[in-house]
Chain A
Amino acid sequence: MVLIGEPSPAILAPREIRIGLVPPAVAGVGEGRAQAAPAQVRGMDDDELMARIAEGDHTAYGVVVKRHVNRLIAVAQRILADRTEAEDVAQEALLRVWRHAAEWRPGAARISTWLYRVAVNLCLDRKRRPQAAPLEAAGDPVDPSPDAFAAIYRDEVTALVAKETAKLPDRQRAALALCYYEGMSNAEAAEILGVSIGALESLLVRARRTLAERLGPVLRPAKESDNAS
């Protein structure tokens, strides 16, 4: 098909001509395409999967989604501190796999590295936008039993850690999410963030140092109790 309106050489260029009368597989998943068997696809490596996805194979795409969706959401949530936005980011990153599979260069990178790079960049872009003020949570009634106090203290400490982590600069938080929480190698995390390994380590050191300073009042009792035990 050729899209014409105002005569434009770019639009009328031969590369833009797509022959076909009816777009296939719009209505149903897998319609009009050869779909690989799920068991067959699960054993494929990244390059084979991307080649299948480029051909419109929804089964192959499903395998990629299932492999990465959880970790993508986790990384995005740790950077954005917002579950809904994290899901949006994961969805956008995974849809880009579908849209750009044809541009995949075999052997150039791993899908996971590419995906996390996209997701981290989307997160950093979102953090640059003006943020809406969070709604104040309504206070829950307090259970006065000792166990309940301990539970409340634990919850408050956890909330404080989450809050202080969310206050870290974006790239420090991203480095912490990738290396500490997702257990990625420093080389992979550095590649995702587009920095050297030395720069990544510097981000991690600064993040942990800042957290240690800000969490001092709850960190020292934790350390003392560790030493006592």
Chain B
Amino acid sequence: MHRDETEALSRADGLLQAYGADVARWPGEARDWFVHLEQPVRAVVARHIAASEAAALDRLLDRVLVDEADESMTARLLAGAARDHGQQQFAPRPGVTVPTHAVAIPAALPDAATIAAAPSRWRNAAMLVAAGIMGIMLGWFEPLLATGNAVESAAAQALFGTGELEIDS
């Protein structure tokens, strides 16, 4: 046996022990080395590989198959992501413990420009508040107006009598 063959077989044994007998599974540089061996040496190495224990082990390993995932798995993951999205909006930073009685509030109240530009929800709320304030104000001032009328009535009575019409018979 030539020295080249001995060295080639030694290197092939190292690769067989780690990667098995399928040259396609060897690292790129090892594949290149094998492909570029001189023809007689490559034939010797190829016969050695085919007869190796690694080749027999590969055949046994190849018998153990796994099933492919079905479409429902993909659908479940996408649905899980959709649900997960909402939770992440409110999630605290990792490592921060949120007490169970915590309440979520807006970070800042919206300014007037935001309210004006916002959908009708904010405008409706502002109108409701304004109507409420007007109601309170009317309720507050009505007794005062009524008191004013009474004063005016007393002054008129003093000047012009009871105000009742007397009909001469």
Chain A interfacial positions (CB closer than 8 Å to B): 1-6, 8, 10-11, 15-21, 23-26, 28-29, 56, 58, 61-62, 65-66, 69-70, 73-74, 77-78, 83, 86-87, 90-91, 94-95, 98-99, 154, 157-158, 161-162, 165, 176, 179-181, 183, 185-187, 201, 204-205, 208-209, 211-212, 215, 218-220, 222-223, 226-227
Contact = CB atoms under 8 A, between A and B. Distances in A.
Contacts of A83: 66-67
Interface of B: 17-20, 24-25, 27-28, 50-51, 53-57, 59-61, 63-64, 66-69, 73-74, 76-86, 88-90, 92-93, 95-96, 98-108
Choose among B50, B82, B89, B95 the residue with the greatest number of A CB atoms under 10 Å from its CB: B82
Q: Which 5 A-B pairs have the closest CB atoms?
A: A26-B86, A5-B102, A5-B99, A223-B56, A23-B89
Contact of A222 (B60, B69, B99, B101): B60
Contacts of B101: 5
B90 A157 contact: no
Contacts of B61: 161, 165, 176, 180-181, 211
B27 A165 contact: no
A90 B82 contact: no
Choose among B63, B68, B80, B103 the residue with the greatest number of A CB atoms under 10 Å from its CB: B63
